Amino acid sequence: MSRTPAYAAELRAALARAVRGVSERDLARATEALVSRYRSVSPAAAPILASPVHVAAYAAYRMPATHAALSRALGDVADRGLAPRSLLDLGGGTGAAAWAAAGAFESLERVTVLDQVEDALALGRELVRGSPSEVLARATFARAVAGDWPSLEADLVTVSYVLSELDEPSQDALVADAMHRGQAVVVAEPGTPDGYARVLRVRSTLIEAGWTILGPCPHASACPLAGSDWCHFAARINRSAEHRRLKGAELSYEDEKFSWVGAVRPGVVDSLAPQSGSGRILRHPLKRKGFVEFQVCRPDGTTGREVVSKKAGRRYRAARDAEWGDTLP
């Protein structure tokens, strides 16, 4: 049974404690600055988290969404049978990927988060302090500048929502570094056309190096959406009252759109389960009376429409429960 909902609730409570005492006006101003930056597609000229208030605003505004996206991606990787004992999160800031990994992998024993912003790392330490998860409570949050990381390796290396802050040569260098350090690598970016383009470049790098794709792709062929559409998924987040205030939102939930790719180096895949299902569901299913219609990326490298009718019995019942981003039953 997934531990993600419990970890998401614990994270929300920790975030509420962390922003207590910070001026709502300061949080709102910092949040506006962050929103403006995240809507830009150009590399950042300076660290986005420029002050403790910006860090607190980021954590309250963005961390639940990043955690939800990484939980979905790492959950898929866990379903393939990956059971890492160690996690290294490059550019991990306040630790969203660490929380997601702790929820996805019962095997996890060691977590290290590296980032250049000490204020972000300090908040990350505060959030995990007193956590009932032993692996989170003893996680290491260490300051390091990209290109000068300490000599660390891990079973799983994550790079989440970082590439958009870098120019292409720096992106390539970071991905190469992640591949050098990890047995498996997961990269996630915003679910926008430019975020998908960055993920697609990472996917090509992984495949060219002989790595095996874990997800979301059910194949290693050229992406059939390239040039006409973009591959992205959604994770639902339950908003806290603080989260709603910061975003000026009324709904009690939101859907975080994200793109991602995960892969393992040659040899590791032999210990994992093969891809299950008939492909990856690319859009919200259309559930009609007597049948369910899907848009699917197939194992043969094509995309198209798939229909599962009521006559399929057990498969139809599974199809009724399938969602965007799942594998097709």
Of 247, 271, 295, the one marking the end of a domain is 271
Note whether residue 9 is domain-resident.
yes
Backbone angle region of 71, left / alpha / beta, with phi > 0 → left and psi within -120 to 50 → alpha: alpha
Note whether residue 110 is domain-resident.
yes
Note whether residue 220 is domain-resident.
yes
Note whether residue 147 is domain-resident.
yes
Of 237, 252, 271, the one marking the end of a domain is 271
CA dist list (Å): 162 to 67, 224, 304: 14, 25, 32
Decide: residue 21, CB within 10 A, 0-12 exposed, 13-18 middle, 19+ buried: exposed
Q: Are 77 and 191 found together in one domain? A: yes
Note whether residue 326 is domain-resident.
no
The lowest-confidence range among 146-155, 172-181, 213-222, 301-310 is: 146-155
CA dist list (Å): 254 to 26, 125, 158, 239: 23, 27, 24, 7
Q: Are 237 and 290 found together in one domain? A: no
**What contacts 188, CB < 8 A, 6 or more positions away?**
66, 69, 70, 73, 158, 159, 160, 161, 199, 258, 259, 260
* DSSP state, residue 117: -
Note whether residue 65 is domain-resident.
yes
Residue 154: both structure tokens together: 């891990």
Residue 143 binned pLDDT confidence (cut-offs 50, 70, 90) = very high
Q: Are 35 and 143 found together in one domain? A: yes
pLDDT at 112: 97
Q: How far apart are CA 99 and CA 128, in angstroms?
A: 9
- Say which amino acid occupies 107: S
Residue 79: both structure tokens together: 């379903």
**What contacts 303, CB < 8 A, 6 or more positions away?**
224, 225, 282, 295, 296, 297
| Residues comprising the chain, all counted | 329
Q: Are 224 and 303 found together in one domain? A: no
pLDDT at 74: 97
Q: Are 88 and 224 found together in one domain? A: yes
Q: How many domains does the chain have?
A: 2
Of 271, 289, 309, the one marking the end of a domain is 271
pLDDT at 35: 67
Q: Are 145 and 121 found together in one domain? A: yes
139, 166 contact by CB (below 8 A): no
Q: Are 229 and 313 found together in one domain? A: no
- Say which amino acid occupies 217: C
Checking if the pLDDT of 204 tops 80, the result is: yes
Checking if the pLDDT of 96 tops 90, the result is: yes
Which CATH number is 102's domain given?
A: 3.40.50.150
The lowest-confidence range among 70-74, 82-86, 122-126, 235-239 is: 235-239
Note whether residue 329 is domain-resident.
no
Q: Are 27 and 46 found together in one domain? A: yes
Checking if the pLDDT of 191 tops 70, the result is: yes
The more confident residue out of 65 and 268 is: 65
pLDDT tens column, 251-301: 666 789 999 999 999 988 777 777 777 799 999 999 999 999 999 999 999
Q: Are 314 and 243 found together in one domain? A: no
Residue 20 binned pLDDT confidence (cut-offs 50, 70, 90) = confident
Q: Are 142 and 190 found together in one domain? A: yes
pLDDT at 71: 96
pLDDT at 241: 63
Residue with tokens 């120019």: 167
pLDDT at 54: 80
Note whether residue 328 is domain-resident.
no
The alpha-carbon radius of gyration of the chain (Å, integer) is 19
- Output the pTM of the full model: 0.90
The lowest-confidence range among 23-27, 101-105, 258-262, 318-322 is: 23-27
Average pLDDT, the chain: 88
Q: Are 28 and 63 found together in one domain? A: yes
User: In sequence order, what DSSP letters do the residues of 277-302 get, joined into one string?
Assistant: SS-EE-S--EEETTEEEEEEE-TTS-
Q: Are 124 and 265 found together in one domain? A: yes
The residue range of the domain holding 155 is 4-271
Percent of the chain with pLDDT over 70: 88
* DSSP state, residue 208: H
> Taking the mean position of all CA atoms in its chain, how far away is CA 313?
34
**Of 186, 190, 192, nearest to 206 (Cα)?**
186
